[in-house]
Structure 1
Amino acid sequence: MPTTLKIDFVSDVSCPWCAIGLTALLQAIDRVKDEVTVYLRCQPFELNPRMAPGGQDITEHLTDKYGSTPEQQAQIRDMIRQRGEAVGFVFNPDGRGRIYNTFNAHRLLHWAGVEYPAQQIALKMALLVACHRDQQAMDQTDTLLQAVQLAGLDVAHAQAILAGDEFVDEVREAETYYTSRGIHSVPAVILNDRQLISGGQAVEVYERALRELAQA
């Protein structure tokens, strides 16, 4: 009988390494599916919780936040694109264009996790593609609802959530929970509440960790 493992994937939609990490993790889960049954849940983390509506130019943002030059950013962007290619995630060669507040995206992901747990990952991937491949404005209702539709979820219900304050407290509580336990960068992959894998790793890294934990 397969071993059952719980995985919490703590991440932000605006994080390119999270797109790499989730894509690789899903492949690793598929590789061990005969030995391991995985319960995978996306958990919220905001890289820029105070980002104003309309976002900020990505070059300006990265320069302000990290002190990096446009040339350095181009090199990192090319490295990310190559890492994405290795796992099958397509990045826009020009990057994200702008960086946006992602709180409403996390509210929809929480909703999906509660009411449509089997489709939460589909929503997460649709949001990641919208951000990193299609350069969509991730704080806009139309962008979020398009991802909801692509994931096969109830668009009318999602629209009602975005129009109100449903799941605001739940997302804030989850964010506080993970930051209070030392999660300050993403992606953070937590296996069975006890083992942490940080960063967007290769498929083999996740596969090995899953097999080792299952055997233990």
Structure 2
Amino acid sequence: MTTPSLTIDVVSDVMCPWCYIGKRRLEAALEEVAGEIDVEIRWRPYQLDATLPKQGKDRQQYLEDKFGGAEGATQAYAAVRAAGADENIPFAFDKIPVSANTLDAHRLIRWASSLGLDAQDRMVEVLFKAYFEEGKNIGDDAVLAEAGEQVGLERPVVERLLAGDADRDTITAEIDQARQMGVTGVPCFIIDMQYALVGAQSGPALADAMRKVVLEKSKQQPDAAPDGSDMPN
């Protein structure tokens, strides 16, 4: 008997702490369905704030502006810290110097996919760790080039690409497409282009959603199953 398969497009921004939490919960879900369902993960770009400059903005000031002062920023992140602790993510928000513009980070994630989806997933992981645990500016070209090296990209190639406009329009178009599809918050897990879960859902909830889609697919004619071909590769 053939193991059923499906794809999950994860619409995410690497400056979003809930997306990091969502990645951990997705990994738990994948462990739960291992051997039961073959799952292909594709990371899709989103920008929570495309207005940030290339050099970023002082993070403390950014958060105070966003949440109405230091107290508001602290309260807003209390739930994030608690959820992070549950997922063994050692968030080090105090180390983060700037809120970064993530367009170039998304370009890097796209380039990593040229080495395969596993490399793309590792790239996302490296960037989350760099930003949320090590306090690095993931909008900085040197930081991005170093991150790219960690997953097997050639540093001189990454540096050359970052210096130009390669894939900027493609990333922007993907983000626009996500918004047109109704994505207004991240993470958003789009399962086989027919079932979407918004927010850092629990591992069991994600696993149940996968099983639901597989069950629905089994009731369809083989040639009627969506293949996700309307999403960019």
TM above 0.5, one fold? yes
Indicate the residue corresponding to 1:33 in structure 2: 34
Corresponding residue SS for 2:77: helix
- Cα deviation per residue 1:25-58 (whole Å; 9 max; x = unaligned)? 0221122121111111110111111111322222
- Cα deviation per residue 1:180-215 (whole Å; 9 max; x = unaligned)? 111121111111111111111222221221222223
Matched ranges for 1:1-216 at <5 A: 1-67=2-68, 69-92=69-92, 94=94, 96-216=96-216
* Whole-Å separation in 1 of the counterparts to 2:56 and 2:169: 23
Corresponding residue SS for 1:124: helix
Q: Is the 8 A contact 1:92 1:133 kept in 2?
A: yes
Using the TM superposition, give the Cα deviation of residue 155 of structure 1 relative to its aligned residue in structure 2, in angstroms. Answer: 2.4
* Whole-Å separation in 1 of the counterparts to 2:89 and 2:134: 12
Q: Is the 8 A contact 2:188 2:198 kept in 1?
A: yes
Using the TM superposition, give the Cα deviation of residue 120 of structure 1 relative to its aligned residue in structure 2, in angstroms. Answer: 0.1
CA RMSD of aligned residues (A): 1.7
TM-score, with normalisation over the residues of structure 1?
A: 0.92
Structure 1 unaligned segments of length 5 or more: list them. none
* Whole-Å separation in 1 of the counterparts to 2:169 and 2:40: 24
Superposition misfits of 4+ residues, deviation over 3 angstroms: none
TM-score, with normalisation over the residues of structure 2?
A: 0.85
Q: Is the 8 A contact 1:77 1:95 kept in 2?
A: no
* Whole-Å separation in 2 of the counterparts to 1:76 and 1:65: 10
Using the TM superposition, give the Cα deviation of residue 150 of structure 1 relative to its aligned residue in structure 2, in angstroms. Answer: 2.1
Corresponding residue SS for 2:51: coil
Structure possessing the higher radius of gyration over alpha carbons: 2
Structure 2 unaligned segments of length 5 or more: list them. 217-233
Number of equivalences = 215
* Whole-Å separation in 2 of the counterparts to 1:151 and 1:85: 26
Which structure exhibits the higher relative contact order, with contacts defined as CA atoms closer than 8 Å and separated by 6 or more residues?
A: 1
Which one-letter code corresponds to 1:151 in the other structure? V
* Whole-Å separation in 1 of the counterparts to 2:74 and 2:25: 23
Corresponding residue SS for 1:2: coil
Identity %: 28
Q: Is the 8 A contact 1:78 1:93 kept in 2?
A: no
Which one-letter code corresponds to 2:64 in the other structure? T
